[in-house]
Structures are given as C-alpha cells and as structure tokens.
Structure 1
Amino acid sequence: MHITPERLIYLVTVAETRSFSAAARKLGVSPSAVSQVIQNMELDLGVRLFNRVSGQAPTLSDVGKSLYVQALEILPRLRAMEQKAQSYLDGVEDKLTIGVSGYSFFPIYSEKIKSLMAKFPQLTLNIIDVDEFDSSNFGIDTAADILITPAELIPRRGVESILIGRIKWLCVCAPNHPLAQVKHALSVQDLLSHIQITPAVSNFISDEMAESVRLSSQVVNCSRMYQFKQLLLSGVGFGLFPEPLAKELLESNQLVELERDFIIDDFEWPIEVVWSQAIGPAGEWFIEQLTRIDE
C-alpha cells in the first residue's frame, strides 16, 4: 500500500513544522528516518510531495498540498476509530466532556444530560465552556468530546454534526429600564438611543452572527452569558435574550419582554451538536437522545 497512516502522519508533521529535523524531534525519530519515509512515499506514488531547495525550508508541491488537506480529514477519523474500538473493548467510556455555549445551553439539553447520568451512573461527566478552547482543533486534539453550540459557518474536519434546534430571541430589559415604561410598540428607531447588551464575537460566534442581533448603535459586548445576563438584570441596557433561558426570568419579573412593531425571527441562530467519532457507547447514546428532541 503506497499511502499508510504512518506516511500521512510524517507528511503532515513535515508540512506543519517546515523542517525534517523539527518533524523528527516531534515524532521521536531521526531526521534520516523522516526523510526516508517521505522519499519512499514519493517513489511509490511517482510524484514529488515536497520542493527541496538547499538552505530553505521544504515546501509542499501542488500534489503534496492536495494530499496534506486530505490527510487533515483522514487522520482524525483514523485516531477516532482506534479510540472507539478501545472504548468498546473497555465496555463504556469512563468519562465524557461536553462543551456548551451559554447562549444555547437550554433546559431541554440539561434534561438530556440528567438522563445520560441516570443511564450511565459510572460515567464521569465534565461540562466546559466552549470558549475555553480553540474550536478549529475539535476532533483532533481537543478538550471536548461533544459540543452543543450555535452552528459554526466553517465546517470542522474529522467530526460529525447535526442541527438540533434554533435560538429564538426575545427583546427584553429590566423592569426599571426606561424602555420598560414605554406604552407603545417599539420600533428599531426607538432602540437606537439605548444601550444594547450583545454577545461578543468568539470562537463560536462569528461577526455575522453578532451583527445579526445588533439593534442599537451603542453596545456592550459580553464574552460570557453570565455577564450578559447580569448587565440585563442590572438595567444597563436592553438585549435580545434566548427564549428558553428568558422564561424563568420573565415569570419572576426580573425581566420584561418589550412589545415591538418588527419581527426578529430572521435573527434566529441554528444550534448544532458536534461530536468526535472517538466517542464510545455513552456518548453515542447521548447524541441519539439530542437528535430526537424535535421528533
């Protein structure tokens, strides 16, 4: 076989370190071993994968670039297959890490986590904020096995994903905010002179997504939901708040919904669950439960 997982690993490592010596150190082998693997791969395929010029870092040839891109898709899946096989060999995985976004972590998903722990009581579950790690590495070397987040615009490599819901926004403010005293339906123009609390751009919230929920020229951007929520409750400004998360706050009169003369359905953000193929039986069961929510 001309292309093997080992050869792809060497190809990717050389391409990313831009040095046979640096790749050797990273792989724990000699520079000559790295060079030999690449040369043998080139001979077997009948193509040159790297351009080599004395005194310069090796660069990928056109065909090398093509194989490199494909390797970035293939290698995470191969690692996931090995890890999945091991998890089934061991029975059920002993731990699972789920990354969530405060803007899309609805009560219905909390209920699914409750069911997960009831189904697999031996499981150690870690819940982390999605902004604690680089989303571009998800599925390769990541702190999370599953993500529940606003849908990203750029597909991730080597992982699976499916849409499981949408964020519907309510226009809200604290009862002591001036907008709460207005008796008529508010227009977008009415909101322009007031501060708006908004989600900040992050690994999981693009510029386009953040801009889609902006209604005022004066904004306070919040990188975390607890900041967003506290500023709303304190009357600093108004904001668009996810409907499922607003329900309890509205019922307890901590927030009030503002009547408006415009529709904000166009501002909905899709919610997706993304998972590594390395997850074991418990993770697979959880994914199945999430995808059944709308059924």
Structure 2
Amino acid sequence: MDANPTLDQLQVFIVVAETGSFSAAARALNRAQSVVSYTIGNLEAQLEVQLFERSGARQPKLTDAGRAMLVDARRIVADLQVMRSRAKTIKRGLETELSLAISVMVPTDALVAELSEFRREFPSVALNLNVGELGRVMDLVVSGKADIAIGGALLKQDDSIVADRIGHAFMLPVAAPDHPLAQMGRPLTLADVREETQLVVTDSSGMTSGRDFNVLSFKIWRVSDVATKHHLVKGGLGWGGLPASLVRDDVRDGNLVVLELDAYEQGEYPLYALRRAANPPGPAGQWLIESFARRLSTCPSKAHFDATLKVDGERQAYPQAAE
C-alpha cells in the first residue's frame, strides 16, 4: 500500500508555498530549515511529483504540479479543520445536524430572517428544511423525520409530542379582482359563495382525512399545496383562504381582494413548536425555538389586519408580519 501524505507534510507544504522560501517557512513553523526541506522531500517522494523548482533560483518556485497539489492540500487541510470543529461541537453537546419542518402559515419573512441568524450563530450545524401543509408538519415530527416543527396545533392527541405555543397567524378569504365575488362590492353571504369554485388544499399526511376547514362552496377544486392554490386564486380560477402573510403584498398591490365573508372563520391560527418528548432539543434546536417564539409573538393581530382594511385609498395596505 502506498504511503499517504500526513497532515503535517501538507501543512509544511502550504507554509513553504505561502512564505516563498524554506528558511521563511522554518521560521514560521519554528523548525530547522533542514527539517522543512526533509519534509518536502518526503512529500514529493510519496506523491512522485516535484513540487518546487529548486535549481537556478534563489527561492523555490512551485512547479505546475506543485500548483495543482497546493489546491488539493489546502482543501484537505480545510476539511480536517472542519472535522476538528465538528468534533469540538459534538463534545460540547451541539447538534451536528438539525431537521426542521415549517408550516406554510409561518411568514416567509420570519423564516428567512431566523435562518439567517441561525447560520451566523451555528455555522457548523447542517440544516434539513421541509415546508409542509396542514398535518404534514406534525407527521414529520411523529415519524422522526423532523427534530423540530413550527406549525399548527396537534391534530390528534399524542402524548409523545411536546407542543409549546409560540405565536399566531391567520387566513384571509381572497379572490382575484375580476372574480364575480370580488365584483359584488358588498359583504358576502353564504349563498353568494355556494356556487362559486372554492380552492382547497388536500392534506398529504392523511391526518385530517374526512375533515374540511372553512369549506363553504359546493364546487371544490382540491390542490396539493398552498403555492399552487395561491397561483390559481390569483389567476381567477376560484376563491379560497390563504395565509395573511402570503397575500399581504398581493392585496396591497391590488392583485387580490379580501372578501368580506362572515361565514369564513378568520380567528387567529395558533403556531406551536412541536418536538418528540423523547428527543429534547440541543443548544441549536433550543435557540431556534426561542428565536422563532420571539419573532412570531410579534405578528400583527387579526384586529390589526382588520383595521388596515379601512385605510382610505384604492389599495389596502398591510403591515409586514413578524418583523
């Protein structure tokens, strides 16, 4: 078996290349110049390539092969430093990887802001992110595919799951401006919406099978996800409820109209941090829960959103959620 270069040999090689001479490298490494030269000679013998051009020059100069090997040497040393850092975090109890499930009800602005902070706080922790609808978020925690979830309340009693309320959101019934319901120009009754197509998201987890939330129309189109529903509603293919944070800009810009429909329940939708009781979060997971709690607890209330509907002008202005 061929002898592999050692980490020490690669580090000496890098220092010689960066300082430009064996003597400067020896001073930087606090070693005898003969030891540095011997180390580089052994490395060249193991790799079977000449790394430095020594003849006819006062200072060693990297050969073409040396320049190529320098790139590899720096990458290997950097990878080993990452390995050492990860080992230190493991020793301290910090997670090496975290799986997070996020409900579509969590404002996108809040998600991006929190994950940006998370990356700065825990650069060595790998993150797996899943965004889901309805029961999908809880299902990911129950199945062990997510360490933590930020989403709605438990859809069924499960003593193995810990649920801590950390904030709220809510849905708004909306339609495109040229939709018949938006053109009525008055508060809508249940009879008004019965014959209009309502777009409804189907829960892929099966946890809400047989249960419909705020389904008022006789004509129903079922879609797999909120993003598709959003596009179809904007395209005038039906009406439906969408997260207020998702439609805020569309309503402000006149691309969607909020329907005045008392029959549609618009109460606050609680948001919880969900996890398995047998799997308490480590430092990174706990930080993430507490950080989301601080941000989501500042989301505007339903009353605040309702007040903005009364703003004078052609466009309805909504405050940015979870800033």
Q: Under a length normalisation based on structure 1, what TM-score does the superposition of the two structures give?
A: 0.61
User: Aligned match of 1:154 in 149, 153, 156?
Assistant: 156
8 Å CA contact 2:153, 2:163 repeated in 1: no
Instruction: List gaps (5 residues or longer) in structure 1.
Output: 1-85
CA distance in 2, matches of 1:263, 1:135: 25
Letter in 1 for 2:260: E
User: Aligned match of 1:102 in 91, 101, 104?
Assistant: 104
Q: For residues 214-248 of structure 1, give each alpha carbon's deviation from its aligned partner in whole angstroms, at most 9, with x where no partner exists.
A: 12111112221122111111111011111111101
After superposition, the Cα gap between the structure-2 partners of 1:224 and 1:99, relative to the gap in structure 1 and judged at 3 Å, is: same
TM-fit CA distance, 1:186? 1.1
Q: Which residue of 1 aligns with 2:141?
A: 138
CA distance in 1, matches of 2:189, 2:292: 37
CA distance in 2, matches of 1:238, 1:252: 18
Q: Percent identity?
A: 26
8 Å CA contact 1:170, 1:241 repeated in 2: yes
Q: Which residue of 1 aligns with 2:198?
A: 196
Correspondence 1:185 to 2:187: yes
Q: For residues 67-119 of structure 1, give each alpha carbon's deviation from its aligned partner in whole angstroms, at most 9, with x where no partner exists.
A: xxxxxxxxxxxxxxxxxxx9752552222111122244543243222221222
8 Å CA contact 1:165, 1:272 repeated in 2: yes
Correspondence 1:163 to 2:204: no
Q: Which residue of 2 aligns with 1:225?
A: 226
8 Å CA contact 1:103, 1:225 repeated in 2: no
1:207-286 correspondence runs (5 A):
207=209, 211-262=212-263, 264-266=265-267, 268-276=268-276, 277-286=279-288
Decide which moves more: 283-292 or 147-156: 147-156
Letter in 2 for 1:110: V
Secondary structure in 2 matching 1:288? helix
8 Å CA contact 1:105, 1:148 repeated in 2: no
Q: Which residue of 2 aligns with 1:287?
A: 289
After superposition, the Cα gap between the structure-2 partners of 1:130 and 1:245, relative to the gap in structure 1 and judged at 3 Å, is: closer
CA distance in 2, matches of 1:286, 1:191: 41
8 Å CA contact 2:155, 2:207 repeated in 1: no
8 Å CA contact 1:152, 1:204 repeated in 2: no
After superposition, the Cα gap between the structure-2 partners of 1:282 and 1:125, relative to the gap in structure 1 and judged at 3 Å, is: same
TM-fit CA distance, 1:159? 3.6
Q: Which residue of 2 aligns with 1:112?
A: 114
Letter in 2 for 1:275: R
8 Å CA contact 2:173, 2:258 repeated in 1: yes
TM-fit CA distance, 1:161? 1.7
CA distance in 2, matches of 1:271, 1:207: 21
8 Å CA contact 2:102, 2:131 repeated in 1: yes
Secondary structure in 2 matching 1:179? helix
CA distance in 2, matches of 1:134, 1:226: 16
8 Å CA contact 1:197, 1:222 repeated in 2: yes
After superposition, the Cα gap between the structure-2 partners of 1:161 and 1:89, relative to the gap in structure 1 and judged at 3 Å, is: farther
CA distance in 2, matches of 1:90, 1:135: 29
8 Å CA contact 2:194, 2:218 repeated in 1: yes
CA distance in 1, matches of 2:188, 2:163: 38
* Structure showing greater Rg: 2
Name the count of aligned residue pairs: 207
TM-fit CA distance, 1:290? 2.2
CA distance in 2, matches of 1:108, 1:249: 18
CA RMSD across the alignment: 2.9
Letter in 2 for 1:102: V
Letter in 2 for 1:224: D
After superposition, the Cα gap between the structure-2 partners of 1:87 and 1:224, relative to the gap in structure 1 and judged at 3 Å, is: farther
Instruction: List gaps (5 residues or longer) in structure 2.
Output: 1-87, 299-323
TM-fit CA distance, 1:197? 0.8
Secondary structure in 2 matching 1:228? helix
Decide which moves more: 101-110 or 160-169: 101-110
After superposition, the Cα gap between the structure-2 partners of 1:135 and 1:242, relative to the gap in structure 1 and judged at 3 Å, is: closer
After superposition, the Cα gap between the structure-2 partners of 1:292 and 1:99, relative to the gap in structure 1 and judged at 3 Å, is: same
